[in-house]
Each structure stands twice: as structure tokens, then as C-alpha cells.
Amino acid sequence: MADDKHRLTHIDEEGRARMVDVGDKDATHRLAVAEGWVRMLPDTLQAIRANKVQKGDVLTVAQIAGIAAAKRTSDWIPLCHPLQIDAINVSLTLVDDIPGVKVEARASLTGRTGAEMEALVAVSSALLTVYDMCKAIDRGMEIGPIRLVEKSGGRSGTWRRREA
């Protein structure tokens, strides 16, 4: 059996999936930051920049989609606890070098379990919304990577991604 640090907490003693009991954990302030990209043709990026996408304002709709999804993370991920988010900020940046759109989400709350999944779901939803709104122009768009950048709070403390 793996030591406690590497034990899979969503698996019970018989190997079945379970929701973790967080009842004995202290409520602490928690923050998570996630990011992701959608790569596209330069013409697609230009259409977004010029607000010429037929479905409307891609960046605003994707931002709202990310915020709404973060608030419903436990509906997306079956073993996640429903959390009361204090704040969720979703920002989208047009990046010529990719070319594409970078999404960053910052989720914060005070609670017994973290905000990582909320930030990751926000990024995922925003990226999927960009794809949906632009697919008539560019079906070859690529989404990813989607990743956690940092998290703080809780028993495990602070973690930050180190770039290679």
C-alpha cells in the first residue's frame, strides 16, 4: 500500500470510488490558479480580435462560461464537493505567437477543500466555448495544455508549477 502522502484519497479500502470526508479538516483560505490555451489559425484569431465572429463576442461569452462552470464544478466532476466560491476571475488574452487565446482562472474560497478543480473547470469551459464559437471558421483548433499553475491553503500548503 502507498504511504499516506501518495495514497489515492478517492478510493476506499476495497478499491471503490468514494467522496472524501473533509469534515475533520479546518476551513482555510484557498486559492488556485489554472491556465490553458486554444491554438488556431491566424485568421481565426484576427476574427476574434475584430469581433467578427458570427456567434458574437467570443471573449466575453467565454469568460462568462468559465465563471458559470466554476460555480458548478461538482456537477462536472462527480467526486468533487460542492463549494461556496468567494471569487472566480477568468481572463482571456489574445496571443499572436501561438496564435490563439490563453485563458487563466483564479478561484478562491474559504473552506475545507481546495479550489483547484474550480479553476481547472473554469479554464476548460472557457476554452471549449472559444472552440464552439469559432468552429465554423476553424475546426482544426487545438485545446491544451490545461494545467494548474499554483494553489495555496489547506493541509498541503502552497504549490507552484516550476517551468522546465
Catalytic positions = 132
Sheet bearing 159-160, strands edge to edge:
87-95, 100-111, 28-39, 142-152, 159-160
CA distance 107 to 114: 9
- State which amino acid sits at residue 134: C
Query: Does residue 142 have a known ligand-binding role?
Result: no
CA distances to 1, 118, 162 from 73, in Å: 30, 6, 26
- Confirm whether residue 127 is marked as ligand binding: no
- Residue 6 labeled ligand binder: no
Nearest to 124 by CA among 108, 139, 144: 144
Q: Give residue 26's identity as a one-letter amino acid code.
A: D
92 is in an annotated binding site: no
Determine whether the annotation assigns residue 80 to a binding site.
yes
Known binding site for substrate: residues?
79-81, 117-118
Residues annotated as binding site?
Answer: 79-81, 117-118
